Each structure stands twice: as C-alpha cells, then as structure tokens.
Structure 1
Amino acid sequence: MEITPTIQAEIQTYLKRKGLTMTKFGHTIDLNVGTVSSIVTGNRSISVHQLDSITAGMNLPPDYFYERYIEECIEESPLNWKKISPFLYRCIELGRLDCLQRVVILLLDNPNYPPSLFEVAENVYKDGYNEAAAYLYKKVAESEKQQHSERLAICQYRLFQINIGQDRAVNLQAAIEFAPFVDRLDEIEQLDALKDLANVYRSLSMWDKVYEFSSQMGQLGQIQYNLVYNSKRKGTEPQKKPIRPFFTYIAYSGLMCASACDAKGDHEQALEHIHCYADLSWVKEKDSESLYWKKQYLQWAKINTYVNRLMSGDISVLPDYVEHMAAEKEIFAELLNVLEVANRYNVDVDHILRRFESQIVAYQEPSSSDTYTQQVLPEEYVRFWYKMAKYSLNKGRYLYGFKCLINAFEKAVTINHVLLIANCFGLFYHFKAHAAPKTQARFQTIYEEVWEKNDQKDGFLLSGN
C-alpha cells in the first residue's frame, strides 16, 4: 500500500526539487521565513490561510492538502474552533463538502459546537451555499436536545426554504415537515414563515391549508401591529423588524384568504376578505416603502373585485377590468382570468387578445429565487397556455391551439402537476382528430415521459388537489 507523505514532507520535497530556500519561498508566498521554517520543521501548527498560501506557491489545486490537513492538524490535535472555523468556510467555498462533513462529525461529539455550526450555516446560507447550509442545518437539528428551541425551528425553516423548488412532491413534503415548527420561531420570523407556507400550499391548490396559514398570519400580524402602534403599550414593541411593513402581512392575509375562497367557489366570502384590504385607512406607517405597498394593495383590491365579479358571472365588468389591466406592467395573471371567463362563459375575447398580442408572443416563464415566484408563477405559466389552448381549439384554431397545449403539457410535466397534466392530456384527446401527425407524435413522446416518470416512482404522482 502506498504511503501518502505528510504535508510537511511534501513541502520539503518541493523545496529541494525546486532548489528553493525557505527565505525565497517565504517571499514568494508572502510569509516570513520564521513561519515557513516552523511549518517545514513541524514546530508550528499551520492555519488554513497559511496552507492555502503554500499550496498556491507550489502551483497545486487550492484543496490539494485538505484531506491530509484534517488528518494531521484537526483529528490528531485538540479541537480548536479558531483554527477549524476558517477551514470549514474554505471547504464550503471550494465545494469540498466531503471535508466539511468529516470535520462536522468530529465537532458534533462535543455539545459546545452545534451553536457555532449553526452560526456557520446561517452565514453560508446568506451567501448562497445552499447545499452546505442544508447539511449543517440538518446536523444541528439532529443534535438539538431541546425540541422546542428556536434554533431547531430556524434550522427547519431554512431547510424548508432551501428545499422549495419546482417539484411539487418535494415542496409538499417540505411544507409538511416544517409546519409543526412554525410557532417555535420568533414571532416576527413567524410572519414570513406563514407567508411562505401559504404560498407553497397555494401553488399546490390546497386551499384549506392556504386559508389556515393565511388566517394565522393575519392574526399574528394584527397582534404585532398593535404592539408597535398602540401607545398604551410602549416598550413592548418587538425588537426584530419584518422583511416588509407590518400592515402588509395583515393585507396579504386578506388577499390570500380571498384567493382561497374564490378558488373554492365561495365568491361572497372572498369579497368580504377583499374588503378587508381594500380599506387601509387604519395604516399608520408613512415611510416610502409603506406608501408603496399601501398603493399596491389598494390597486390589487380594486382589480380583484373585478375578478370576483367576473368569476361570479358578471361579464359586464370585463371592459373595465381590461382597461385597468392595461395600466399594469405584469398582465398575465389578469389575462389568465380573461381566458378563464372566456372558457367558462363562452365569451369572445379575441379583441382583448389582439390588444395584448405582442406581450403574449413574448411571454416567457419568469425565474427567481423568491419563494412566491418559484411556486406560483410556474403554475400560472402552465395554466395560461392551457387555457389559451382550450380557447383556441374551441375556436377551431388548431395549429396555434396545439402549439399552446404542447407548451403547457411540457411544463406541467416539469413541475409534476398531475391535475394540469391530466387536463392537457384530456384536452388533446378531445381534439385529437384535428391534430397533425407531427403533433400527435409529440404528444405521444411527452406521454411516454410521464409514464416513465410515474413508473419509476412506483406509481406515485402528486395530486393537485
């Protein structure tokens, strides 16, 4: 078996091979000769910063010595957080999660280190190192003895945030696992956590859950708002600040509860919730951010009142809705409603679609790291093209209709939305006789991809309801 030389031995070999003195090498890597000498002779513990300098000076990959560094400088020495902490950060920066895991396992044997590892996780999560952060959060959560601790709840919240993506099955599991920990968070962080949960369940069309978490958010938001703005309770204000002004959580609760009621067909109850955020005269914040959001919610209340009436069958408001929509930068949620009304009540909206033809042609699925955007907008994208396909096919525009339907079908498969997959497939078969052979072949290919995906998961495919 080949014996791997120590870091010290390999440096000595390099200096001899290159004919370098310690002084010259020290100048090259910007370390004084005493430090280099102590490292080479084994009389000095080496830091990861010094190791990186030496490695660079030897023209080696930056993580070349990392496994030996763990063996020689961490495993064989008393644990020293000041030395270990910089090494962990460098392992994360360089993608050496294997090295990170080896050291973390050592540290978790000591109950003093989980809080420090939690701090590392929080820092690297903020910097976007999600894979490393997720590993650290899991290990800290596993080591947490106090099951009701806030640190455990934050670990679960971060894991929920990291796991959220476009796979609906993964998102549902993440929400189920995180939900029991929400009330263990700080009250301020609870507001955003409840908002995120409501958004995920909205993307899953699980409207009872949307209503549940949105209602909780509104109640908690009202309590926190009163603590801040009730003059009789000065000094009890929360120390933390939410991501957005307090009143927006109350308003968003009304908006989401209204959405849930509308989706379940209870348009009367939905309208009551819309009225809750249509009147924001009670809002006391006057800063620019609050004024911006106040204007936004008043705008949304007006347009959602139109939507509520449209979905109830009052087509008379459609012209006003379209004019209001035309002033918006983002129009596709509104166009989706127009197509829904057209299909539901057999209304001709060709003139509206022609008006926004350039935007429709350019419509691409948005991408973002924001939880709402990741969850809600991909489904909105599928629904838009599905409803456009349905409208076009019913009008006899088969070439364009099938083009829209293929677009919707492919994306529905990507986000694993079984209800939309079924709707796309059903719509295709309803009009199959009008599909060109090439279109039929494409649908068959997509169908086989769905079957293979379903078969590989032992028959499991997440329901959209």
Structure 2
Amino acid sequence: MWGAQGTLYRSLRSEIEKCRRKHSYTFSKLGELTGINPGSLSEILNGNPPRAMTIGQLDAFAKVFGREQGWLYELYTEECLSEQRISRPRLIPYLIRCVEVGRKDCIEAAVPILLENPKNILILFTLAEQLYEKGQLKESVPFYEYVIENEKDSYSDHFVMSQYRLFRVVLGTNTEENWENVIRFSPYRNRLPENNQLDALFQLAKICFALQKWERSEQYADELRLLADTVYRHELDRMKRNKKGEALKTERHLVYYYGMGHLYKSVTLEMQGLYEEAKQYVQVYTDLGWFELLDEDGRKEVERFKVWAKANSYTLEVLSGNTSIIEEYANYLDSLPTNEVLAGLNAIMKSANTYHFCVDEILERFASQIASFDQFTEAIGLDRHLRFRYQMAIYEFGKGRIERGIEETIYCLSLADLLNRHDEALTYIALFGWLGNLNKRIANQNELGS
C-alpha cells in the first residue's frame, strides 16, 4: 500500500522545491515561467494542507526545470488517489498523459488501486473512450481489456461497448486473428445500442466475407438488412409525427447500412454460385433514391450504390456465362477506381476459366492497374487480390504459359502467407498439377509421333 498521504505530498513537493532553490527562482519568477498564479503556486507548494496540482502544472514545472516528460509522475498518483477519495478530474488527464509519455509503470501502479472498488471500472471505461475518440486506438486497448476482465455484468453498457471497441480496433490482415475476433465479439452484437449495432453487423459481414465465410457473412447481412429497415421505419415515423428527441446518430448515413445489407447479401450469394438469387438483391440497391431521410451525404451514398450495382450486375452476367458483354464490362471498369477494377477482373478471370475464352487483350489493357494491386493492405482487398492471382494462375497454366503460371502460383502462396491462410497452401500447390498434366500430354504426343 501507499504510505501516508502527507508523506507523498511532501515528497512530490520537496522535489519541486529542491529544483526551485537550485535555480534560485522566487515564487514570483517561477509563477511567471510556469504560467501559474503566484498565489496558487504558494498554495500548491506551501499550503497546509497543500492545494492539489494538475498534471498540466506538474508538466509546466518539468519544462521550466529542464526535466524530461513524465518527471515525478510516480509521485503524482496520490494527487488523484487516496483511501478516502478519487479525483476523476485529475486522474483521467494524468493517466492519459502517462499513456502519451510512455509511463506504463505509473498506469500499472494506479489501476489495481482503482479496481479495489468495482464502481471505478467506469473510470477506466471513460479513459478508454477518450483515447478512442482522440484516435489513439491501440493505446485504448489495455483499458477496454481492464473493463472486460473486471466487469462481472456482461450486459452492462460499458462491458458491451468495450467488446465492440476491441473488435473494431484489433481487426487486421491476419486471418486466424480476425476469425477469433469475430467469434469473441459476435455474441454481444445484439446487446449494443442500435446505432452501434448497425456498424457492428456491417463490419461482421465484411470481415466474414474477407474470410470466405460465406454463410456467416450472409447471416450478418440478413441481420443488417432487417435492423436497417426497422430503424428506417422508426426514424421515418418519428419524423412524420414530429416526435421529440434527437435522430439516431450513426457512423455512416442510415442509407449506407441499408444498402450494404443488400450488397453483402448479393455478393455472398454470388460466391456460393447462386447468381440468379443474387441479382434480386442487386436490384434493391440499384436506385435508393426513394429513401426519405436523405441529406447531402445520403445522396452521395445513393450514387455510390448505383455504381456498385451496375458493376455487380455486369459481374453476375459474366459469371452466368454471358460472354457477349465482356468488352462492354471492360469499358465500364475503365471508369472505376482500382479496387473496383480488381473486383471486376476477378469475375472476368473466373468466367474465362469456367467457359474457356481468351482475355489476353483485357489483361494487357489493365496491365497498369494489375501492377498496382499490391497497394491493398486491408483484409478484403488482400482477399480479392489473392482470389485474382489464383484465377490468373489457372488461366496461365491453361494457356500453356508455364513460367507465368508458376509466378502467379508463387504470388498466391505469398499472399496466403501474408493473410495467415496457411491451410490454403495445398490448394495453390495443387496448381502445379498443370505441369504434370502438360508433361503427360507432351509425352503422349511424342510417343504417337515416334
């Protein structure tokens, strides 16, 4: 335990006083240099009892005395914590500064004292939220973990929100870790407030799609469609009845979640080979202009969905064997950003391998875009890139271009390793079977020739 409160106060202040005398600063001069009112300064250093100082004031002392950031932080804890009280106005800024200057030791000393009273879990949650809102996402993780590890009520708002924040923060490119993250968070998704639940379902559908968990992605897409429709009807009713209360605040416009529910429903059906069923859901987000709650941002989203719907309609036609529109589709892809080009070429390559037609001219036409596919670092982009390279390997081997086929296969193995999808390695290694089949054909032809 900590020593007597007065002892630590004097220890903190004696260090400051020692530096003041060393520099021969009067209270007036020190006040001038630190920006602290001389009267307040006297109360902080000589008051009985002394006036508590803020972490900003301690940092001002450190700067004036030429000390490093985090100076005397180990002695500052008692300004915030004692057996009798906890000062949230001083504690939270102090812990945030500990994070910023790397004083992990001070955090580890303060947290156990806080957790002696379960009510203080809310302080740690508040701290985590402030870090999260400031964009210090990785720094917020330990505090959300403290909440999850110590809160016994798994239905409490701060417990569920901590689960959600961790889910969002730790998503990366590692397939196994992302799947574990989905499993860990998904049981809590329906306990979130509706505004966060919309985004959680979207993220779950998205990451499961990248993980090629088609049925799970479809499940979350269905949940998202239902919830977005329910929220839309509720908000529309509230607006028409002029009911009091603020509109539901969501991370993206509500029309985005409505459209994404149908988009992920369509693409998961596509990946399961259910092209005709997928077309029905594409039609829903082809034109969302009927949505009655649109503002400028909402209208922009509607236009984006029009683009995606047109591209996905082409995709489904090509995958269904309609090769007559390949050139038209390629012309359309020319007007789209690189990530959409990648998705489109995926469909064209898969169709070419299924229906055995040549797309060499298209590959040459999009050579510069294909060369830039390495720019994708997010899970769904990497997954698309991997699937494209797999189709490319099949195509090149099928054309008898062995060296290119080998290059594409090695590319697949490299991307699978990056995504930590080592269980798929045999799938890509099996591509080398083209070599064996080709050698057999050559050998048979030589025998017939002789």
- State the TM-score bracket (shorter-chain normalisation): 0.7 to 0.9
Tell me which residue corresponds to 1:415: 419
Confirm or deny: 8 A CA contact 1:389 1:401 kept in the other structure.
yes
Give the equivalent residue in structure 1 for 2:258: 250
CA distance in 1, matches of 2:355, 2:179: 33
For the residues of structure 1 that align with 2:208 and 2:379, how far apart are their CA atoms? 9
Cα 1:284–1:240 shift into 2, 3 Å: closer
1:16-415 map, 5 Å: 16-41=21-46, 43=48, 44=50, 45-70=52-77, 74-75=81-82, 78-230=85-237, 234-235=242-243, 239-280=247-288, 282-330=290-338, 331-367=341-377, 374-415=378-419
What amino acid sits opposite 1:426 in the alignment? A
Contact 1:224 1:238 in 2 (8 A): no
The answer on whether the counterparts of 2:53 and 2:79 sit within 8 Å (CA) in structure 1 is no
- In the TM superposition, what whole-angstrom CA distance separates every residue of 1:314-368 from its partner, at most 9, and x where no partner exists? 222222221221221231111122222222222210111111122222333234x
Deviates more, 1:280-289 or 1:327-336: 280-289
Q: CA deviation at 1:19?
A: 4.1
Distance 1:19 1:229 in 2: 69
Contact 2:178/2:207, CA 8 A, preserved across alignment:
yes
Structure 2 runs not aligned, ≥5 long: 1-7, 439-450
Which range moves more in the overlay, 152-161 or 86-95? 86-95
SS in 2 for 1:364: helix
Shift, 1:220, TM fit:
0.8
Determine helix, strand or coil for the equivalent of 1:113: helix
Q: Distance in 2 between matches of 1:52 and 1:278?
A: 57
Deviation string, structure 1 residues 208-251 (Cα, Å, up to 9, x no partner): 11111100110111111112224765528873222333233222
Cα 1:420/1:323, change in 2 over 3 Å? farther
Distance 2:381 2:179 in 1: 17
Q: Is the 8 A contact 1:382 1:411 kept in 2?
A: yes
CA distance in 2, matches of 1:273, 1:41: 73
Aligned mates of 2:436, 2:420 — CA distance in 1: 23
Provide the rounded CA distance (Å) in 2 between the counterparts of 1:15 and 1:283: 67
Distance 1:72 1:290 in 2: 49
Closer, same or farther: CA 30–232 of 1 in aligned 2, 3 Å: closer
1:227–1:237: 8 Å Cα contact kept in structure 2? Answer: no
Partner SS, residue 284 of structure 1: coil
Relative to structure 1, the CA distance from residue 391 to residue 89 in structure 2 (aligned partners, 3 Å threshold; closer, same or farther) is same
Q: Distance in 1 between matches of 2:249 and 2:337?
A: 29
> Could you tell me how far apart the structure 2 residues matched to 1:115 and 1:36 are?
32
Q: Could you tell me whether the CA contact under 8 Å between 1:97 and 1:132 is conserved in 2?
A: no
Give the alignment's Cα RMSD to 1 decimal. 2.8
Higher relative contact order at CA 8 Å, sep ≥6: structure 1 or structure 2? 1
* Percent of aligned pairs sharing the same letter: 29
- More deviation, 226-235/130-139: 226-235
Secondary structure of the corresponding residue to residue 375 of structure 2: coil
- Count of residue correspondences: 425
What secondary structure does 1:6 align onto? helix
Question: TM-score when scaled to structure 1?
Answer: 0.82
Task: Give 1:83 deviation, angstroms.
Answer: 1.9
Q: In 2, distance between residues paired with 1:243 and 1:71?
A: 39
Q: How does 1:433-448 map to 2 (within 5 A)?
A: none
TM-score, normalised to structure 2, is 0.85
Which amino acid in 1 is paired with 2:346? L
Equivalent residue letter for 2:36: L
Change (3 A) 1:200 1:14: same
Larger radius of gyration: 2
**In structure 2, C-alpha distance between the alignment counterparts of 1:232 and 1:51, rounded to whole Å:** 55
